[in-house]
Structure 1
Amino acid sequence: MTDMITVAVWNLGTAGAADAGRADAALDMLASYEPDVFLQQDDPRPGAYAAQRKDRTESRLGMHGFLAAPNPTADTSIAASMYLRPDVFSQSRAVYPTKPWQLHPCQVRVRMDDCPLPLNLLSLTMCDFDADLRMHEAAWLTTQAHPGMVTLAAGSTNSYTSSLTEREAHPAWEEITDPAFRTQRTFVTFDGRRCSDVRPDLLLKNAGYQDLAQRVAGHSRRGAALNPTAGYNKPLHGGPQRTDRVYGVGGIEDAVGDVEVICGEALDVSDHALLLVRLNRRALKQVLTRPRTPAR
């Protein structure tokens, strides 16, 4: 047993849906980092393939999986999934939220040893085409941030960080030649200006969430935690951006030791980087042992 708990966050998309070799390469890469939690986004569910993929992932990683059901009203058969190492966490309750999500997230509340408080884990993808719907999805996440709740929510936000130090890396929207993408990833202010959609990030932070990569970068000055996670092969969309993010609330931010962005080999099997969040085991247990703060 190590002093750190590793949370892997990866939007694998359709990797392996048509190419088993890519799926095996992704699992081999994940296994090399020995994650205790794997939060997967955009997991395809065509028929029996979902169960086969789940079985293969569980077997290769030595983890227990949970699959959210695809949204029957969406024009796609993908959803989020989650895998947990059973000797680290015991399941408390699996939840599969639906409204207002375009792509259903996967939520599992787990217990760690004899800690009295549960850890609330969410794997998610925010809507990629509707900025207003993303706001509704972010608003739903605030229901997981009430006093006494310890939550880690991670995945593809399809939006941008509100951090002033990162805004200069946002796409120059007047130069984007894909008008559909420009419309999907921006909002228009009251005075008619088109701006990067940072509103989900702002809303989450107003509710108490912290961007764990920003916390690591600020406390340890490891700026690599803020490296881009997606958009590497999409020149019409303004270049690579940090749209895959990990948020924490309820004290879990105090347990974060590092956030690492793995590109290189990860981009050989997906168009998203792999995120590794390392939590100090002792600090996390302390967070989950704190007296529950009653809601006011």
Structure 2
Amino acid sequence: MTCDDTELRVACCNLEHNGGDDQTRQLAHGILASYRPHIVFRQELTGAWDHGKRALFEEATALGGMFPFMTEPREGRSRNPTGVMVDPRMFDIVAHTDHDLPWKAICHVQVRLKDCPKILHLASGHLCHFDPDLRATEARRLTTLADHGRTALTGMDGNSYPHRSPDEVSEPLIWAKVKDPVHFQHRTIERNGVRVSDTRPSEILTGGPKAVFTDLAHHAGTVLGQPGALTPTASLKREDQGPPQRIDWILGTPDWAPALRRVEVLDTEDVRRVTDHALVIAAFDLAAVQQILSTAA
């Protein structure tokens, strides 16, 4: 990806168990830093809360001095928190709140683009890996970011599937051939007496004529003529859960779609060395973003 000063770059990065060790984390930070993101939606900040959030601040420093936020791990719940990082040279921080949910909290940060009055709501989500019903609840919670005419961007590991399957380039999932029975229970729902892939979060967030969010990779792939934006993102390693699917999403309220320049999915050899998810990058025209955020709600 070419980086220039006329665009705003947003990354969604699920780093498997936060890299697991210092060397892997450093390689991951270098990959992410090379794209010079202004906003990063992070998943699996495993252990980053420990020792005064040392690993969180190390990552923020490696990314050029970003301002980092993360959810606090809760006892008895997921130990893989979500986080948001923003470039303080581009944004002023307004507020940080966690949306507490039964398994994994959503990290929600409010910012203002410099010299622009409208608040931008940012949220990093990692939908529940084991419960389709809870994923639907988490997706509905994310819709509140856009309530009352607010503008929002969210990046997540959806642990579920896009609902517009004819447009996807992933090899179709044939559940009868999936070897992992637990994965089958986690990722399917019953419709008309048949177990099918869970697409409810995608339907809730981006479906219908009154969609709350735009799936920006889908927009890039079908409107901007960038089929690579629909490249599958996970799992890049396991072979017992069927072929990789596009489960990592960057979504924006519909006002963001006209500003989108491109979406890229990075599943390079180095990315596969550090994680089981591809890195997703969305680039927006900065002047168009300034226009979006120029009028306060």
TM-score (norm 1): 0.92
Cα pair 1:147 1:250 within 8 Å, conserved:
no
2:16 counterpart SS class: coil
In structure 2, the partner of 1:239 is 243
Alpha-carbon distance in structure 2 between the residues aligned to 1:123 and 1:47: 16
Q: Does 1:266 align with 2:267?
A: no
Moved more, 87-96 or 53-62: 53-62
Cα pair 2:91 2:112 within 8 Å, conserved:
yes
Q: Does 1:68 align with 2:71?
A: yes
Counterpart mapping for 1:1-296 below 5 A: 2-17=5-20, 19-45=21-47, 48-49=50-51, 51-61=53-63, 62-74=65-77, 76-99=78-101, 101-166=102-167, 169-189=171-191, 191-206=192-207, 207-264=211-268, 265-290=270-295, 292=297
- Residue 29 of structure 1, CA deviation: 1.1
Cα pair 1:170 1:196 within 8 Å, conserved:
no
Deviations 1:35-66 (A, max 9, x none): 11111101112763561101211221111111
Alpha-carbon distance in structure 2 between the residues aligned to 1:290 and 1:251: 12
Moved more, 52-61 or 240-249: 52-61
Gaps of 5+ in 1: none
- Equivalences, count: 288
Letter in 2 for 1:275: V
- Residue 258 of structure 1, CA deviation: 0.8
- Residue 290 of structure 1, CA deviation: 3.9
- Residue 13 of structure 1, CA deviation: 2.2
Q: What's the Cα RMSD here?
A: 1.7
2:28 counterpart SS class: helix
Cα pair 2:82 2:125 within 8 Å, conserved:
yes
TM-score (norm 2): 0.92
Gaps of 5+ in 2: none
Summarize the Cα distance change of 1:208–1:214 in structure 2 as closer, same or farther, 3 Å threshold: same
2:165 counterpart SS class: coil
Cα pair 1:90 1:110 within 8 Å, conserved:
yes
2:12 counterpart SS class: strand
